[in-house]
Structure 1
Amino acid sequence: MKDAQAAFYDSLPRQRDFTLLADPARFTAVPDDWALGVADIVDSTGEIAKGRYKTVNMVGAAVISAMINGLRGKEFPYVFGGDGAGFAVPAGAVDTARTVLSETQRWAAEEFSIALRGALVPVSDLRLAGKDLRVARYAPSDGVDYAMFSGGGLAWAEAQMKAGELLVPPADPGAQPDLTGLSCRWSNSKARHGQIVSLVVQPTENATESDFADLAQSVLSASEGLDRGGHPVPENGPPITWPPPGVSIDAHVSRAGRNLTLQKLLLMGQNLLIGLLFKTGKRLGNFEPEHYKRMVSRNADFRKFDDGLKMTLDCDPSTLAQIRILLEQARGQGKIRYGVHAQDEAMMTCFVPSATRDDHVHFVDGASGGYARAAAAMQD
């Protein structure tokens, strides 16, 4: 498996300029013998309507966390979708992917009463269906990079899964995926320039790759005029408060069958120490709080390509109006479907393999439904 990865994903260039990823030529075809995995929450909009924003994001990110741990740190392409995730793995990792999808479904049902579904499909099969799977790597910092997907294969697999095809069944009761490193300790980041805007744009069958690339470039150009390109997380990191807002969810994630109340008390103590370190800025061993906070912001995944364009932006009214005009023009030509959801705050769900390294991953979404609500508001 290591050789297969080294021959493909590990060798892909890491792009530092996100705007260049609007060019389809920046993407490379995933090998035929790989497999594509997808997962999402059934009726995520209903869960969000109950106020379970953080829980929805945590379950979506759990799929990625469990896959990273299941592959023991070996790099593979993945994307966070708010209420779900997508990833690709070589043939030697398909059994691991199937186990992760099965166990995470069972865990989501037992810990949160959330119905998660998952599916796997060989890349060769989706190409037989007339779709493709291409990937690129975007590195917002030297510490991490994120996969970007194009070719229509990811969207096709998600549609097949929602239609009841290609499904991976849940594991037996009591199954526990390895979610070490998954957390949501930060408080939400308030909009500083207007509103936090969650944007989902997908090409229609009438759009050529060139059509969508041109639109994406126009939207990105508009957003580049925002402070830090619309980055919703402050440069010195999001706020941290005590008690942390997601401590109950964190306890469900990290207890691994242990007593929930005791795990919550343990996390409260840990977060009190962490909060004091951030407040004083004092080092603890190799942990440097100020450096860590800056890296949290730099590593944050607030925009992505996943057979479309998704962004969570701190956006002023005039820029949002400009972006809406661009989207409406393309929608009127039958080239895209899009949805927008505005809210006051952004939130993060994090995967931190080690607080003393710079490879911690931070998934950003709007704090009151974000991508899921934007997708539900899609306009044809």
Structure 2
Amino acid sequence: MVHLENRLATLIGRKHCIAVGRGATALWLAFRAIRDAQRNVLVLPATLCLSPAFVAQLAGFQLEFCDVEPSTGNLSPEKLERLLASNSSVRAVLLAHLYGQPAKIKKIKAICSAFDVLLIEDVAQALGASTEGRMLGAFGDVTILSFGHTKILDAGGGGALLLDDDALADELRSASRDLPNRHPESSIWAEDYRKAYYALAPLTEQQPRLRSLIGALGAAFPKMYVYRFEHTLVDPIDHQLDQIDREIDHRRAMASGYAERLRGLPLSFMETDSESVPWRFNIKLEEKWRNAALTALRNENFDASSWYPALPPFFRFDGEWEAQYPGASDIEAGIVNLWVDRSVTRSRVMSCCESLARSFDRIGEKA
């Protein structure tokens, strides 16, 4: 395991790496280590998956949300600065490089430093991406990696914390030794969670207040998020790291194929740059067309998702949340994610684009 930790630290450019059971465990350990009774608020992006919010609550933090840029899904520096200026109880900010697109990390780090707020950098969807020639994950006070399902490198599990602070690293490493083993029923709990989520999700479209029921699911499965690293993952993660350049090249090539073939259709592309590593290829459609397009793609057996719904209503429902978080609302209404990993080929990308074009033709005929 030490070899793997050293390899990850070298890859990202950090002094210390601590391997743990999953990315959510890494977040939980970081949150527990930095919590402060006087400053107990954690800021999260308003567009993000639910797991970071779940484990932040498990660690004892109160949640605050900051809106995102609709063009990337990443934290808006301007809105973050206003939020920190208005709330002196913020201890830390979680920044995720969403969809593999680098956030404005240098500007956000400077803002956090100005308000004496810690920055947790989540690279779960962006491993291998960089900004101005420097690897993502090299900027935060603590960085989080994940090798679980759907991540850039999918080894079936595992996560890590990376940092430069010697004292904090000693504390986190000591805490990691006290983590429990992965519970034998973890897979059952994960399936139960999935079933509960997808049973409730359609109901929330009719009654948005029911999102709070989904937001409560994390508390029902706390042991699913926190456990120690499994040594059987060393070789799979090592193998995935051997393949990282090939994986990045493939993802970029597939994204380029989508971009080339989807031009001219009534949709927009989420912003990317040459240093990003696509988690998926992300487009936005008008809300009236999005669900029909998703249904058409899935009916023809193409993988497509609509991640992520806005996070705030799951934890603090406010009928005005769409006005408060317009960037997150915009993404929720229109996002479509198309697969770019090595399960996808160039011909599959072409067929997917043709399917999407046909769906627009059918929608146009009905209009």
TM-score of the pair, normalised by structure 1: 0.25
TM-score of the pair, normalised by structure 2: 0.26
Higher helix share: 2
